[in-house]
């Protein structure tokens, strides 16, 4: 029964991520047609990430008490409404409001679906299940980027309208065809996770493995966001490619993620130490992104682009697997904290990249390489600390 439910959720995740990614290839066109400054692509991405940061643990902790399904449905429908407002708005101020709402509402689905996968997986199979979740997410991103680019080729607003209607259909689908995954809800008074908003010493020990993982999740999401938030605008404004080709370029990284998360990650999880694997993956990400941005030799650039697209998607499911092992009866809360770390990295990555882009169009990619180096060094220190402790 759980196996069938897991497959069903993975299938819905593919459909939902497809729809969630419709607008990405047409957003640079929206910015250009409304004559907004170039740094707005970073600001809009950051505003959505702020909403995600604040509400990710909130939705996750509430789902531990109230169940998962209603928060999945709420997230999908809410994101559709917010995206419709975003796509039809004319001023930067109103667009900014809808961007924050998009982050607040979409993360209800994103954070809780990870908890659903944890609910449906045994401890032994969790890494594989989360790798498949990452793969279906990437498949959706690739499909959605291509579909959105073609649909919005003549008028970007069409993409946002279809995105809204699709979210309604998917919400109904979740209601009709999925079941609650949380077998035992938390009892007693509902305690909403708000520690991430309080200006006090964190409850997480950042010298522990869990603390190190959450800290480096933030750094690695600065790296991935530096790439993801910049590449669409780079293709549209620097390379002058049409919206359809922008969607195709945006789908290359997700296609790489599909392949590695279906065929590479499950084998890595079964054969190798997760922490050592994560260190190698992040080191290769840093090097390949740096060479891709810095080198002018086309052969060298081509080789390291391929390496980058292979290794970049490997980190997230490894992180999810390692962090999920700390979850007992609070998987929603822990996955929410992880998602907040991701969102914080996305805020910093998108804002910094938006302003760096105005100085040099490849600076955001070099910046992302630097934060990956920092994450790698922190994890190496943690690995050495673990070896000393176990000796």
- Give the tens place of pLDDT for each residue, 307-328: 887 788 778 778 877 877 765 5
What confidence score (pLDDT) does residue 342 get? 80
What confidence score (pLDDT) does residue 308 get? 82
Name the pLDDT band for 273 (thresholds 50, 70, 90). confident
| Close Cβ partners of 353 (under 8 Å, ≥ 6 residues apart) | 42, 225, 226, 229, 230, 364, 367, 368
**pLDDT, tens only, 220-250:** 989 988 887 777 666 666 666 666 655 666 6
CB 132 within 8 A of CB 265: no
**pLDDT at residue 182 tops 80:** yes
- Measure the CA–CA gap between 291 and 302, rounded to whole angstroms: 10
What confidence score (pLDDT) does residue 332 get? 60
Say what angle helices 92-120 and 69-88 make with each other, to 10 degrees: 160
What confidence score (pLDDT) does residue 159 get? 95
Return the residue matching tokens 């990295």: 345
**pLDDT at residue 260 tops 70:** no
Question: What mean pLDDT comes out for the span 114-141?
Answer: 82
Look up the pTM and report it. Answer: 0.72
Choose the most confident range, by mean pLDDT, from 7-11, 50-54, 180-184.
Answer: 7-11
Tell me the three state secondary structure of residue 231: helix
Name the pLDDT band for 13 (thresholds 50, 70, 90). very high
What confidence score (pLDDT) does residue 17 get? 96
Q: Does residue 294 or residue 239 have the better pLDDT?
A: 294
């Amino acid at each position: 029964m759980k196996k069938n439910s897991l497959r069903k959720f993975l299938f819905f995740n593919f459909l939902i991520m497809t729809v969630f990614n419709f607008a990405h290839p047409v957003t640079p066109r929206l910015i250009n047609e409304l004559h907004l400054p170039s740094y707005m692509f970073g600001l809009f991405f950051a505003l959505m990430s702020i909403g995600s940061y604040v509400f990710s643990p909130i939705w996750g902790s509430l789902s531990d008490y109230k169940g998962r399904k209603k928060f999945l449905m709420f997230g999908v429908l809410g994101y559709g409404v917010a995206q419709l407002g975003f796509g039809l708005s004319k001023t930067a101020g109103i667009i900014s409001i809808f961007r924050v709402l998009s982050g607040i509402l979409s993360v209800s689905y994103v954070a809780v679906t990870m908890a659903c996968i944890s609910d449906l997986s045994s401890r032994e199979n969790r890494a594989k299940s989360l790798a498949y979740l990452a793969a279906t997410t990437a498949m959706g991103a690739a499909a959605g980027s291509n579909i959105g680019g073609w649909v919005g080729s003549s008028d970007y607003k069409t993409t946002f309208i279809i995105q809204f209607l699709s979210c309604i259909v998917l919400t109904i689908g979740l209601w009709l065809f999925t079941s609650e995954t949380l077998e035992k809800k938390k009892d007693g008074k509902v305690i909403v996770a708000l520690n991430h908003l309080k200006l006090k010493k964190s409850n997480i020990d950042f010298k522990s493995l869990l603390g190190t993982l959450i800290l480096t999740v933030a750094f690695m999401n600065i790296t991935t966001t530096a790439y993801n938030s910049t590449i669409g605008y780079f293709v549209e404004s620097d390379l002058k490619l049409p919206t359809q080709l922008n969607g195709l370029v945006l789908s290359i990284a997700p296609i790489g993620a599909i392949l590695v998360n279906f065929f590479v990650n499950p084998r890595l999880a079964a054969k190798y130490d997760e922490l050592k694997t994560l260190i190698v993956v992040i080191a290769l990400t840093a090097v390949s992104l740096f060479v891709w941005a810095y080198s002018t030799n086309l052969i060298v650039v081509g080789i390291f682009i391929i390496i980058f697209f292979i290794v970049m998607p490997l980190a997230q499911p490894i992180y999810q697997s390692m962090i999920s092992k700390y979850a007992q009866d609070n998987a929603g809360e822990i996955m929410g904290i992880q998602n907040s770390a991701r969102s914080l990295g996305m805020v910093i990555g998108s804002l910094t990249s938006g302003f760096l882009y105005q100085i040099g169009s490849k600076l955001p990619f070099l910046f992302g390489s630097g934060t990956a180096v920092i994450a790698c060094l922190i994890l190496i220190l943690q690995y050495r600390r673990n070896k000393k402790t176990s000796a």
